Amino acid sequence: MRIVDFSIRRPVAIAMAFVAVVVFGVVSFTRLPLDLLPDVSFPTLTVQTQYPGVGPQEIENLVSRPIEEAVSVVQGVQQVTSRSRPGRSDVTLTFRWGTDMDFAGLDVRERLDLLNLP
């Protein structure tokens, strides 16, 4: 009840506090950075390989599985998924948020250079 009594006895003080809050809100809103399409880069890399004339089962055994095994030990990898189609393999690596993707890309490239693929 003390707040109500104070509000009744001092209406100018309450009005000034209200104006101060509104001014603070307007100033804060105008300084708030706003971007309709923020720059968000998801921590993923995709390794695409082509081996024309080979079926999906052979692509999986000869290409996708060795790549998965080689890159799954890269630091920061959370998930490795692959998709094998006739003549093509896509291996997608998902990293933890905050991973330095430049360094991760170099590490993946080093692991791939050590592979002996057909």
pLDDT value, residue 88:
95
What pLDDT digit, counting tens, does each position of 64-98 carry? 999 999 999 999 999 999 999 999 999 999 999 98
Structural domain that includes position 53: 44-113
Q: Closest Cα to residue 83, out of 69, 71, 65?
A: 65
Same domain, 100 and 62: yes
Contact 51, 118 (CB under 8 A): yes
Same domain, 22 and 78: no
- Please list the rounded mean pLDDT of every run of 10 residues in the chain (118 residues): 83 92 94 81 93 92 94 93 94 94 93 90
pLDDT value, residue 35:
79
DSSP run (H or E) holding 104:
helix 101-113
pLDDT value, residue 72:
92
Residue with tokens 């309450």: 14
Q: pTM for this one?
A: 0.66
CATH number for the domain spanning 68: value is 3.30.70.1430
Same domain, 52 and 82: yes
pLDDT value, residue 1:
67
Same domain, 81 and 108: yes
CA–CA separation, 70 and 103 (whole Å): 16
Bridge partners of residue 81, in order along the sequence: 92
